[in-house]
Structure 1
Amino acid sequence: MSTPRRPLYQQLPEIYRIKDGEQRPAHQLEAYMGILDEVMAGVRDNIEALYHDFFIETCDDWLIPYLGDLLGVSHLAGDPWTLRADVARTVFHRRRKGTLGAIESLSYTLTGWAAHAVESRERMAWNQHLNHQRPDAGGQPPLRLRTDIVSQVRGGMATLRDPAQLSFLNGPFDPFAHVADVKPGQIGVPRYNLPNLGVYLWRLKDFQVPVADPGSIEAAAVVPAQAGDAAAVVRAIVHPQGDPMTLFNTHRYRADDDPPDLSHTDAVPGPMPWARLSSDTPTGNPQAYVAVAPYTGTPGQPSAGAVGLILHVPEPLPDTAGWTFRGANLCAWEEGLRPALREREIAIDPERGRVLFGLSDLAGEATPLAEGLRISYTYGFSGPSGAHPIVRNATPSEWQNQAVVLRNVSGGGATALRDALADLGTQTQPVVVEIQDSRTYTLDIDDVVGHGTEGGAPTLTLTTSLWMRAASGQRPVIRLVNPLRFRPLDVLGAGAAEVIANLMVRLEGLYLTWDREAAGFADPNEALIQQAALNRLELDGTTLDPGGAWQLDPLSPGVRQALRPALHVANDFGFVDDPNETDAFDQQPWIVIHRSIVGRVEADDEYQLELIDSLIDAGSAEGDPAPEFAVCAASGDPLLEWGPTLQVAGMTCFGRMRVHSVDGQGSIWLHRLEAHDNQRGCVKFSFFSGDGDRLPPHHGCLFATSASISFTATWFGLPGYGQLRLRSDRRLLEQGPNNDAMGCFGYLLNTHKWKNLNIRYREFVPVGIRTILVPVT
């Protein structure tokens, strides 16, 4: 049924097709056969669809509950993947009912989250009868020194000599025994008691960026204190901008194993525990978190099941067998470590995303390593909003039926992307620039061949649409030397209006940031995109670095970096050189931000702004007494002028808004929202500050005056950024669109996942056992 279908006309003898082409008008037979072929193709497609509907893996979404009825599966609600997986694995789970493997597999099936089930009775301390002593593995009671993290200390005492071991206390892989806790079970709080079953859940998804450039790297000579100490070091910061970041491990759970492979300490998608990164400690297991991969030529992509951090080192440096590892605090790594770094030793700081190599020679080893080091790293995030290495479709539907100019880019640096954007003003077909890897690209529009200028600033001039995208599974970083500006090549000429009416720029899967040393961004109010004289600007799965990340400053801990506007587009459309162009430009540009993360948006009322499953960050968290503007006018005083026409569908805003009008649903405004035309539009199932809002008609909404709200993190770059805490008002988590959460991650339907877990646990958990859900991330 999967063989490709040849059109009926193509099955005719070639002589008839040749004669058909010689007719006037030509191809009359092909048109006639095409009509007949549509009927037969429709019949064939219907038969094929009926065949696919017999199987849960390929049936239409509406058929899932009907197939579930055949197995006696009670109906759930949520995303189609969850419902399909629930029915597909029903028999698998029923055969293993009552086992820990079934609980973990069921939890993963219903949520897609990593899960670990713990029987609390196995972690409870108990007093032994002197006539019936039952010493656990590791020694005789009453005193026993721990050398593993598997067995519980039940008849002995926990050692305080191993801080690495103690770091697992009260976590999902806690190896110690606890006294009974008789308080009622509560989500997020493990209670150790005989009937309790703790199910730990990792809600953040692990995203692995393959073969990227370190954000900062340097080689330096050091003075060894004794023999064996490193004489040279290489310091590398993982984040592409050199910012602190938390390194995650990858999720390596084999759901189809029989029996299921229970979640392991070293294979869950959470922050790397420093205790496991040291080679010379009893609790160390660095091979499960980090790997050294020598390469010649081009580093290979991480394979399925790869560890969270892969260090691609150029040959002929020692391979993985020649290195030892250490988890360490590298906040002040310029001052050295205590004890000193050894030769062939790698120190890793998983909380700050720093890596330190110890080598024996500066010129022969450290410098070549600094020049050739590549890193595949993993981070955690709530979902695919923003730039992430996810699977992407080849081309959107609106581009599939037209010829395009495809320009592939790879290798990073300052020339590859610059050359791919050359001569855009001479093209007659849409240009697609696809970046094939996750390297860092420096873009200086002033060096692009054929660029224009506007007000003395370099500008990309277009005669046709432009689409810049990341290849599937990649997340390239574009470091701008000057702001992006897009404008038509010709605004006043004959036929220019028709060209402009179809002019679109689409950015997909890109992480756009700015060069911290560039003169083009010396002004902190300079936006990443300063001109968008187009019919349509689309940001799809893109991050416009909002700034405000954690600044690693020993003198001022806890300080945030400066914030950066994402867009600044005024009513003159950027035509500052010729006012006649402003008069001739007759478009009302659409700015569509879909599943993206951006900073402040400054746009005048001639623009239309659409925000879908996105986060707008102006740096103002809940409770900020003087919030910054997140969306406002680009010209004049933002306290007096009005911004664009706004449409929202699942949005979180860290800042206040002042717009011309607003319409939509499922959004969170932490601070004041003011709509000039408050008789137009309607906002439904959303959250407002209740502090001087000027709102249009609204329905099913909450206000901060009567509902509490809290986020896991509000600083860009931290794990859990933009994630609603479970302690937020239940209405906020359950009364958004589709009876799920409000905000930019509502489309994940996480509330449905929690409810589905509780429904299924009633069937699969033995009578008398009480499950307690504990989110780890």
Structure 2
Amino acid sequence: MDIPSLHAPPRIDRLYRLLPAIHRIRDAEQGYPLQALLRTIAEQMNLVEDDIARLYDNWFVETADDWAVPYLADLLGYRPVLAAGALSRELGAAGQALNRALVPRREVAHLIAQRRRKGTVALLEDLAYDVACWPTRAVEFFKLLDRAQDINHLHNDRLGTASLRDGAALERCDGPFDSLAHSVDVRRIASHRRVGRYDIPSVGVFAWRMRSYPVTRTPAYCVEDAGPHCYTFSVLGQDAPLYRKPRPETDPSHLADETNLPLPLSRRALRDGLAEEYGSDASLAVWAEQWAGGGGDGEPVPASAVVVADLSGWRYRTPRGKVAIDPALGRLMFPPSQVPKKGVRVSYRYGFAADLGGGEYLRGLRDPAQTFALYRVGDSEAAAAAGDDGELPPVVPRIGDALRQWNEQAPQHAVIELLHSGVWVEPLHIRLRPGQSLTLRAADGVRPVIRLIDWQTDLPDALTVELDVGSRFHLDGILLTGRPLHVCAPREPGTYAELAQGLPDCGAEVSIRHCTLVPGWAIDCGCDPERPAEPSLELHGVRAQVKVSHSILGSIQVQEDEVGTDPIALSIEDSIVDAAGPREQAIGAPAAAVAHVCLSMRRCTVFGTVEVHAVELAENSLFNDCLNVARRQLGCMRFCYVPCRCRTPRRYRCQPDEAIAAVRAKKLPAAVEQELIAAERLRLRPRYQSRRYGRPGYARLAAECAPELLRGADDQSEPGVYHDLYEPQRQANLRARLDQHTPAGMTVGLLLAD
């Protein structure tokens, strides 16, 4: 008789189960009103009980909730740095993320031990990692000073002048691993103007903000224009430096060396440390099945068959039985007479700043709320790595096979999961029925690539998704190259137009999360886009909500009925929209003045012009080129960078408006005022380490940007796609903590090495 309670969580019905059976029988006869009452009471009782249980966990910094960490820090006398910003009072995810940057849990846990070790150089490295989560190396610059020898008291450990024969020492000159003697520099290392390094009281802490991300057993790219024996490690074909896999330090007193840091691999470093850096579990490896030089049976090419060379211009002559690797360019070359017959696979590491655009990082899988059908795509090796226990569905080798099963079974909710970091080259067409949902995603910790090529002569070859009324499509963790993602209404005649008439989105939804839709479809060896005028996302006559988060996209083109329908909702968060050219449209319509969308942007970086119907909200974002909206009276922009003379909704605390208003408030003569306004516009123009997708510093603000721009977000963080890294707060916090723990009589300086 107690059937409904069998499917409920055990704790929600624990009061109801205490009742005698006769009362539960009578309650069932009357439709379970008593069970509903006791469930409401049990729910509140569970909340109180859980809160009491958490009180004990909050006594310890390892298990405490995020809100409790500042209180534990206060008990130890920890004081937040005012220059880093004020603690957030919001209890949401954004407020907790900011507070984690301002009061790091790791630093609070090690606070007592740090105070005991105060004055030691090795502490500065540990402190930097605890405060900012940046790997660092501390250098005492007085040890690098050129000092005269006393003939009666020789010091053989003193450094000497540079030798032109010592190439390794010359490469490390003026870096964190410098081994040459320098003349004294009287400028202070903590100066806000010109930083000096080589002085007696100077201690430098070199910090690396760049991260080293792995790519495992993925196909290499054959550069056919150079020859069938020429390859790049990157599957997109661009030159990209290979990064080192950092090794953890085992001794707290140990000063970090090159093997402990996420550094790009130089040719000399790889040549000298090939035994440590090459291998299936090391920084890089190459697999070439049935190749004359060795390898096979799942084993990489042996290190004895690897030579390190400069492959610029592909002019190097690789000896027979060898494979040449250039880590500075990310290239590899086989002998022309010994080309691999079964393809080449590589494992390597690349540099990037954040978990963005898909990669082999843990992003957390999101399953549909309802019961769903799972289709797995990969091979037997990937299935074994994913933990195939026999209860999961069998693995199919191609995405088309999974789509064929999905079409035959027609489940209401389904997930197609790619299990390894391979490349899928096949035409894809997805047709969703009314109310149906499909998720095409990568397994957690892999980075699959879907490469679309010219399959059809008389039709385009995009990844086409047809949405019907109430249907939903989710793309998660995928790198898409070669062609765009095309989302449209059903092509066959039906009732879609009638059902969609007058409805804003028909309940349909398109979600793109942690994906890369390569700007310009593809890039060449210099990271220049091959088709800069082509879009990466096309929305054609579809009534749906479109959501993009933590992704990298090319331009977005929208073709909608501007007369008979309302604009569709387009929401973009924590993403980069790159039109691959300042005069290209980042968001627009090919045959209309503006895209028929209502745009919402949060923490985004946009390269290219944006022309939309309306902007509902734009905050903490960087619009590097023109932004024009048709309806200025709708929505607002706050804490953004927007170029002057753009048609936008009302702006609040945006740049360069704030700087221009400050100049005009001085009431200067007109000629002087115009000159200062022009100078402020130039000073506040965003400058980037790189504006080309495929380079390590892609879309990162350069250090020489104006301070108002570097801390221009509403919480004094950096606006744009890297807002949630909270680098200004981490940097200010770290500078203050380093000053508190510097050895007596010394001056410490924070030096950003990337």
Q: Could you give the per-residue CA deviations for residues 275-297 of structure 1, whole angstroms, max 9, x where no partner exists? A: 1111xxxxx11233221x4xxxx
Does residue 752 of structure 1 match 2:729?
yes
Cα offset, 1:551, TM superposition: 2.9
Q: RMSD of the TM alignment (CA)?
A: 3.4
* Structure 1 residue 57: Cα displacement: 2.0
Change (3 A) 1:171 1:189: farther
Deviation at 1:424, TM superposition (A): 4.6
Q: Does the 8 Å CA contact 2:551/2:576 hold for their aligned counterparts?
A: yes
Paired residue type of 2:59: F
Residue identity in the other structure for 2:181: A
- Partners of 1:741 and 1:8 in 2: CA distance: 49
Q: Deviations over 1:480-518 (max 9, x none)?
A: 2421222246xxxxxxxxxx2x3211111111112xxxx
Question: Letter of the aligned partner of 1:132 in structure 2?
Answer: H
Deviation digits for residues 101-145 of structure 1 (CA, Å, limit 9, x no counterpart): 210011111111211111111112212123322122xxxxxxxxx
Deviation of the 1:705 alpha carbon = 4.6
Q: Distance in 1 between matches of 2:22 and 2:402?
A: 41
| SS of structure 1 residue aligned to 2:123 | helix
Provide closer, same or farther for how the CA distance between residues 195 and 649 of structure 1 changes in structure 2, counting only shifts above 3 A: same
Q: Name the SS for the 1:65 alignment partner.
A: helix
Is 1:237 aligned to 2:204, yes or no?
Answer: no
Offset at residue 189 of structure 1 (A):
5.5
Tell me, what secondary structure is at the counterpart of 1:104?
Answer: helix
Cα deviation digits, residues 330-361 of structure 1 (max 9, x gap): 2343x543xx5363x442211221223569x9
Letter in 1 for 2:122: G
Moved more, 650-659 or 29-38: 29-38
5 Å-filtered alignment, 1:676-755, equals 676-690=630-644, 692-703=645-656, 704-705=681-682, 707-755=684-732
Residue identity matched to 1:211: R
Out of 288, 296, 311, the position equivalent to 1:330 is: 311
Contact 1:672 1:693 in 2 (8 A): yes
Match of 2:602 in 1: 649
Q: 1:545 to 1:763 in 2, by over 3 A?
A: same
| 2:62 counterpart letter in structure 1 | E
Q: Which runs of structure 2 are paired with 1:126-137 in the superposition (5 Å)? A: 126-136=147-157
Alpha-carbon offset, residue 428 of structure 1? 3.9
Cα distance change, pair 549–166 in 1 and its aligned pair in 2 (3 A): farther
- Tell me, in whole angstroms, the C-alpha distance in 1 between the residues paired with 2:196 and 2:274: 28
- The TM-score normalised by the length of structure 2 is 0.79
1:467-482 residue pairs with structure 2 within 5 A? 467-481=439-453, 482=461
The answer (yes or no) to whether the contact 1:190–1:772 under 8 Å persists in 2 is no
Structure 1 position 419 matched with structure 2 position 401: yes
Please report how far the alpha carbon of residue 740 of structure 1 lies from its aligned counterpart in structure 2 after TM superposition. Answer: 0.8
Greater Cα offset, 29-38 or 164-173: 29-38
Pick from 479, 485, 488: which aligns with 2:464?
Answer: 485
Match of 1:285 in 2: 273
Structure 1 residues 433, 675: closer, same or farther in 2, change over 3 A?
same
Which residue identity does 1:734 align to in structure 2?
R
Aligned equivalents of 1:17, 1:594: Cα separation in 2: 54
Please tell me whether residue 439 in structure 1 is matched to residue 392 in structure 2.
no
User: C-alpha separation between the residues in 2 aligned to 1:190 and 1:414?
Assistant: 61
Contact 1:323 1:346 in 2 (8 A): no
Aligned to 1:310: 285
User: Where do 5+ consecutive residues of structure 1 fail to align?
Assistant: 137-151, 222-232, 279-283, 294-305, 452-458, 490-499, 515-520, 522-526, 574-586
Cα 1:635–1:103, aligned 2, differ >3 Å: closer, same or farther? same
Cα distance 1:719–1:484, how it changes in 2: closer, same or farther (>3 A)?
Answer: same
Do the aligned partners of 1:643 and 1:658 also contact (CA within 8 Å) in 2? Answer: no
In the superposition, relative to structure 1, how do residues 315 and 56 fare at CA in structure 2: closer, same or farther (>3 Å)?
A: same
Q: Kindly indicate whether residue 580 of structure 2 is the aligned counterpart of residue 597 of structure 1.
A: no
Q: 2:71 aligns with which of 39, 53, 66?
A: 66
Q: Is the 8 A contact 1:601 1:630 kept in 2?
A: yes
Match of 2:623 in 1: 669
CA displacement at 1:741 relative to structure 2 = 0.8
Give the deviation of 1:30 after TM superposition: 5.8
After superposition, the Cα gap between the structure-2 partners of 1:329 and 1:528, relative to the gap in structure 1 and judged at 3 Å, is farther
3-state secondary structure, aligned to 1:197: strand
How do 1:13-52 and structure 2 match up within 5 A? 24=29, 34-35=39-40, 37-52=42-57
What's the CA shift for 1:311? 3.2
Task: Give the match for residue 356 of structure 1.
Answer: 333
The equivalent of 1:183 in structure 2 is 187
Aligned to 1:529: 486
Aligned to 1:644, the other structure's residue is in SS state strand
* 1:388 is aligned to 2:359: yes
User: CA contact under 8 A between 2:186 and 2:196: conserved in structure 1?
Assistant: no
State the partner residue of 2:100.
80
Structure 1 length-normalised TM:
0.77
Is residue 248 of structure 1 aligned with residue 243 of structure 2? yes
Change beyond 3 A, Cα 1:590–1:558: closer
- Please say if residues 277 and 325 of structure 1, whose CA atoms lie closer than 8 Å, have aligned partners that are also in contact: no
How many positions carry a matched residue from both structures?
651
1:561 aligns with 2:530: yes
Q: What CA distance in whole angstroms lies between the structure 1 residues aligned with 2:691 and 2:22? A: 65
Deviation, 1:687, is 0.6
Is the contact made by 2:594 and 2:630 (CA closer than 8 Å) also made in structure 1?
no
Equivalent AA in structure 2 for residue 616 of structure 1: V
Query: Partner amino acid for 2:448?
Result: P
Q: Deviations over 1:311-338 (max 9, x none)?
A: 35653588776625433222343x543x
- How far the C-alpha of 1:160 sits from its partner, in A, is 1.6
- For residue 155 of structure 2, give the secondary structure of its aligned residue in structure 1: coil
Paired letter, 1:395? R
- One-letter amino acid of the structure 1 residue matched with residue 530 of structure 2: Q
Q: Percent identity?
A: 27
Partner of 1:511: 479
Cα gap change, 1:199 to 1:190, in 2 (>3 Å): farther
Q: Give the distance between the partners of 1:5 and 1:178, measured in 2 at CA.
A: 71
Judge conservation of contact 2:556–2:588 (CA < 8 Å) in 1. yes
User: Would the alpha carbon gap of residues 568 and 125 (structure 1) be closer, same or farther in structure 2, given more than 3 Å must change?
Assistant: same
**Structure 1 residues 112 and 462: alpha-carbon distance in aligned structure 2, compared to 1, 3 A threshold:** farther
Unmatched 5+ stretches in structure 2: 1-8, 82-86, 88-97, 289-294, 383-394, 454-460, 491-504, 657-680
Q: Match for 1:246: what amino acid?
A: P
2:287–2:296 CA contact under 8 A, matched in 1: no
Q: What amino acid does structure 1 have at the position aligned with 2:587?
A: V
The match for 2:215 is 209
Q: Does 1:631 align with 2:609?
A: no
CA distance in 1, matches of 2:110, 2:31: 56
**Distance verdict in 2 for CA 1:260–1:437, change over 3 Å:** farther
Please tell me whether residue 95 in structure 1 is matched to residue 73 in structure 2: no
* Alpha-carbon offset, residue 547 of structure 1: 3.3
SS of aligned partner of 1:431: strand
Q: Structure 1: how far apart are the matches of 2:683 and 2:36?
A: 66
- In structure 2, the residue matched to 1:163 is 167
